[in-house]
Amino acid sequence: MTSLRLLIAIVVLAATTVSGQEQRLPSPAGHSAVQIGNGTYDVQYGHIGGKWIDVFYGRPIKRGRDLFGPSDWAEMLNDGADVWRAGANQSTRLVTEVPLVIDGTTVEPGEYTLFVALSNESWTFIVSNWPAMERYDYERKDALFGAYDYTPDRDVLRTSMQLDTLPHAFDQLSWQFLDMNENGGRLTLLWDNKMASVPFAFAR
C-alpha cells in the first residue's frame, strides 16, 4: 500500500509539473510605465497623484534565433502582416493620461495601438486608432489581434525611429521609457542587439 501511494504521488507530481510547463506562455505579457507630474508613492496608500503613460505588450524571447541577419528578417517578424506588432500575441497598446507630442503631432489622452514598419534602411513608428482584441476573433472587423488585418487609414502618426546596434543582446523584447525629464523622454524598443527609439514631449 505504501508503494502504491508513493507511485500515485510521483504520477501526480509529474502531471503537475507538465501542466505547469504547458501553462507557461511562449511570450509572456509585458508592461512598462512612467509616472508624470508630482506623483508620489506611499507605502500605505500606493501611488498618489500624477499621471501615467503605459505600454502593454507581449515579450517574445529570442531563443537562439538570428533575428535580424536573414534576408527575410522583416517578413519573419511581420508574420504575414504588413507591419510588425512590435511584441507578441495581442497588439501592443499605448495608454496615456497626458497629451504627448511626437514629431509635431499631438497624441491626445487615450488608448492606442503601436506598430513598426520595418526595412533595412529604417524603422517607422506607428501610432494607430485601431482597437486591440483581447483574444483573436476572426469574425470581428472592428479591432485587431496583433497586426493582422492592419490598415493605415486609422494611423494617428508615422515617424522614423532612431535605430542603434548594441554591443549586447536583449534575449526578451522590452519597451522602456528612457531619458525622462519634465519635458518628455524617449519611448524605446529593445530586442536582440537592436534599440529603436522615438522622442516625445509633453504637450503644454
Q: What is the mean pLDDT of residues 55-83?
A: 91
Please indicate whether residue 8 or residue 73 has the higher confidence score (pLDDT). 73
Pick the closest to residue 183 from 197, 198, 203 (CA basis): 203
The pTM (predicted TM-score) of the whole model is 0.83
In sequence order, what are the residues at sequence separation of 6 or more whose Cβ sits closer than 8 angstroms to the Cβ of residue 182? Answer: 202
Question: Tell me, what's the pLDDT at 3?
Answer: 47
Q: pLDDT > 90: what percent of the chain?
A: 61
In sequence order, what are the residues at sequence separation of 6 or more whose Cβ sits closer than 8 angstroms to the Cβ of residue 32? Answer: 54, 55, 57, 174, 175, 176, 177
157 forms beta bridges with 127
Pick the closest to residue 200 from 87, 53, 59, 56 (CA basis): 53
Across 17-21, 37-41, 60-64, least confident range: 17-21
Backbone conformation region of residue 72, classed left if phi is above 0, alpha if psi is from -120 to 50, else beta? alpha
161, 122 in Cβ contact below 8 A? yes
177, 186 in Cβ contact below 8 A? yes
- Asked whether residue 114 carries a pLDDT value surpassing 70, the answer given is yes
